[in-house]
């Protein structure tokens, strides 16, 4: 399996920070009086999700792991998974980062989910795996630039 180049990772990290800032779901919500306020802190749970994603992709299959994470919000809404935070933000953020980095001919706008990219893209599976791993690694590192809640 190929590894992510240091140069690519270094170029992805600033883009990953931008993606995280745009996705308000990563940030904790605190009460100030009777108002809910979005903080600049990120739940420790998301750090764990990114750490687990790589292992899940190896232990099952990349597609199975992606689908598991995409179903996070649905499972939370149904009261099923017991997840503290919406894990569907993980593949959503990976897809957003890939869209920033790669051309629209590779990561088409019609791909609504990361699993769409994985299944429908004409790239080789090893290239898709590498792209997803690179984006996930950059996002995992970028999360460390924000305070934890």
pTM assigned to the model = 0.88
Q: Are 9 and 18 in contact (CB under 8 A)?
A: no
Indicate the pLDDT class of residue 74, thresholds 50, 70 and 90.
low
**Minimum mean pLDDT range among 24-28, 62-66, 109-113:** 24-28
Q: Are 131 and 123 in contact (CB under 8 A)?
A: yes
Radius of gyration, CA atoms only, the chain: 15
Indicate the pLDDT class of residue 79, thresholds 50, 70 and 90.
low
Q: Alpha helices, DSSP H only, in 38-113?
A: 44-59, 62-70, 72-77, 89-101
- Determine the Cα–Cα distance for residues 145 and 42; give it in Å rounded to an integer: 10
| 130 vs 31 pLDDT, higher one | 130
- Determine the Cα–Cα distance for residues 37 and 71; give it in Å rounded to an integer: 26
Residues 89-110, mean pLDDT to the nearest whole number: 92
């Amino acid at each position: 399996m190929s590894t992510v180049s240091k140069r690519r990772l270094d170029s992805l990290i600033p883009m990953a920070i931008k993606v995280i800032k745009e996705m308000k779901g990563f940030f904790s919500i605190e009460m100030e009086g009777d108002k809910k306020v979005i903080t600049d802190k990120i739940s420790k749970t998301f750090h764990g999700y990114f750490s687990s994603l790589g292992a899940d992709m190896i232990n099952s299959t990349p597609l199975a792991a992606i689908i598991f994470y995409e179903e996070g919000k649905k499972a939370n809404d149904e009261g099923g998974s017991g997840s503290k935070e919406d894990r569907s933000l993980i593949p959503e953020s990976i897809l957003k980062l890939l869209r920033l980095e790669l051309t629209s001919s590779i990561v088409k706008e019609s791909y609504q989910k990361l699993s769409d990219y994985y299944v429908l893209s004409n790239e080789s599976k090893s290239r898709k795996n590498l792209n997803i791993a690179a984006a996930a690694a950059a996002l995992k590192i970028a999360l460390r630039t924000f305070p934890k809640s």
